[in-house]
Structure 1
Amino acid sequence: MSYTLPPPGDWHVGTFVKTTSPQVVEVLGGAGLDFAVLDAEHAPYDRAALDLSLLAGRAARLPLFVRVQDRSAASLLSVLDLGAAGVLVPHVDSEQDAREVIAHCRYVDGDRGYSSSPRAAGYGALGMKQAIAHGDRSIVICQIESVAAVQDAARIAAVPGVGAVFIGRADLALSMGIHDAQDARVLEATEGVIRAAQAAGTPVGMFVGSSAEREKYRALGVRWFIQGSDQSLLRQAAQAMARPRTPEQAA
């Protein structure tokens, strides 16, 4: 399903999907979100589960990205053939990493393998020229989540084909030897990446835990947000309706 990143001055919000249920995708499709991201890096998705969820997204008219488990050619080809609107690629630590990722995701001037049979090619209904043009519009978002990536952020953001950069503050904190993603040093590095990407004319995405945090970074120019997950939304709703517990019950 096609998707276009928000233009300057606009913003989009989606959520992570970490439970391998196509019904969850259907529910989210009616909630007014701009997109959702199937988290194949940290959730137990296999190819069959991704296929069902992407089919549900198409039925619900909800654009779905996949955060792939790694940046290998095989992982990227697999989810793009299944019809993902784009990929969120972890641990892109250098300009060279970004160039390799883009090559794996592109037919023209890249090395993505072609087949007319997957969903992305209309199960053979699209001609080769049309399928290639459609496939090369898939959005590639590179995660900046290490000290090395922060240092190379301007060059990563400037690589042709990088649709956006996405700042992963948790892994960035670990890369810095810090156990708090809200540490001032992590936030300083985050703002540096935002400025570098903006200078390159590349959109910036982030994970945020609340609407207040989203508004903070929207004011800095971030315009693609993943807010929470299906798990956190479920937990928060359940906690909101649960009976108050005594300290003894909570223990």
Structure 2
Amino acid sequence: MSALRAGAGQSLTGTFIKTPHPIIAEMLGGAGLDFGVVDAEHAPFDRASLDMMLMAGRAGGLPLLVRIPDGTPSFIMSTLDMGADGIVVPRVDSAADARAIVASARFEGGRRGLSNSPRYASYGKLSPAEAARHGDAAIVMCQIESAGGLAEVEEIAATPGVDGLFIGRADLSQALGVSDIRSPEVTEACKRIVAAALRHGKIAAIFLPSVEEREAFAALGVTWFIINSDQGLMKSAAAKLQGK
């Protein structure tokens, strides 16, 4: 079972990883984080650099999800074959999108191609049946960040095989026609997303730029927190050296 799935009911803390170098994943593995999210949507990761990051995450003991650029079946299957502990899929606008994502990510009831030779199956150490069970333990997280996704949030949360909903406040604010991610409209949308996740027994996750808002969202029922990023943490630490 995935370490993340085993801790799905607990409060977990991670960060985005935007620098395509395996040392970052290796180093963060010793920092006490529960997980990291390699941001292949907004950072320059290709298949080769993702492979190195996922290898380094395993070496450093850091579970890694990958925020993939889109929900194409080939990218989902390739990412999971390389050993990602899960995927975060942006722009999930409907229950139909969610069903298609799950089908690409799952062996049982899905259409993920089975081979026990990649990293996720320990390079052939697992039998095909064991590989399928192990692969199906990967986390599937749907990012809700559009008017369509918000309109169908209950149906997305109810989709079998979806493990959680990730709130993208920046794009959500744009979809709602406001510029502030802390506006009342965005806050109400966040509450709606969290409530939908909890009603269907799914993980509620959110990105926060800092720890200041964590308590407020924890009170709503959010349990997975992606706080800042490797780049942001490095920049803030460097600024503190000069008292900024």
**TM-score under structure 2 length normalisation:** 0.96
Structure 2 counterpart of 1:143, one-letter code? Q
TM-superposed CA distance for 1:95, in Å, is 0.9
Secondary structure of residue in 1 paired with 2:45: coil
User: Which position in structure 2 is the counterpart of 1:108?
Assistant: 108
Runs (5+) with no aligned partner, structure 2: none
1:123-142 aligned within 5 A: 123-142=123-142
TM-superposed CA distance for 1:97, in Å, is 0.7
Structure 1 counterpart of 2:60, one-letter code? A
User: Which position in structure 2 is the counterpart of 1:196?
Assistant: 196
Secondary structure of residue in 2 paired with 1:15: strand
Hey, what's the Cα distance between the residues in 2 that align with 1:115 and 1:109? Answer: 16
Secondary structure of residue in 1 paired with 2:109: coil
User: Which position in structure 2 is the counterpart of 1:158?
Assistant: 158
Hey, what's the Cα distance between the residues in 2 that align with 1:32 and 1:142? Answer: 25
Hey, what's the Cα distance between the residues in 1 that align with 2:28 and 2:215? Answer: 22
Structure 1 counterpart of 2:67, one-letter code? R
Hey, what's the Cα distance between the residues in 2 that align with 1:116 and 1:200? Answer: 32
Secondary structure of residue in 2 paired with 1:219: helix
User: Which position in structure 2 is the counterpart of 1:26?
Assistant: 26
Hey, what's the Cα distance between the residues in 2 that align with 1:219 and 1:234? Answer: 29
Secondary structure of residue in 2 paired with 1:20: coil
TM-superposed CA distance for 1:243, in Å, is 6.0
Query: 1:210-234 CA deviation, whole Å, 9 max, x = no partner?
Result: 1121111011110001000000000
Cα distance change on mapping 1:200 and 1:180 into 2, 3 Å: same
TM-superposed CA distance for 1:177, in Å, is 2.0
1:10-49 aligned within 5 A: 10-49=10-49
Query: 1:130-155 CA deviation, whole Å, 9 max, x = no partner?
Result: 11111111110000111111111111
Cα distance change on mapping 1:137 and 1:241 into 2, 3 Å: same
Secondary structure of residue in 2 paired with 1:4: helix
1:214-233 aligned within 5 A: 214-233=214-233
Hey, what's the Cα distance between the residues in 2 that align with 1:102 and 1:76? Answer: 10
User: Which position in structure 2 is the counterpart of 1:247?
Assistant: none
Stretch of structure 1 that moved more, 112-121 or 214-223: 112-121
Hey, what's the Cα distance between the residues in 2 that align with 1:243 and 1:135? Answer: 47
Structure 2 counterpart of 1:130, one-letter code? E
CA RMSD of superposed structures (Å): 1.3
Stretch of structure 1 that moved more, 99-108 or 235-244: 235-244
Structure 1 counterpart of 2:110, one-letter code? G
Give the % identical residues.
48
Secondary structure of residue in 1 paired with 2:174: helix
User: Which position in structure 1 is the counterpart of 2:84?
Assistant: 84
Hey, what's the Cα distance between the residues in 1 that align with 2:44 and 2:50? Answer: 10
Structure 2 counterpart of 1:114, one-letter code? L
CA contact 2:4–2:85 (8 Å) conserved in 1: no
Cα distance change on mapping 1:213 and 1:122 into 2, 3 Å: same
CA contact 2:22–2:56 (8 Å) conserved in 1: yes
Cα distance change on mapping 1:243 and 1:186 into 2, 3 Å: closer
User: Which position in structure 2 is the counterpart of 1:67?
Assistant: 67
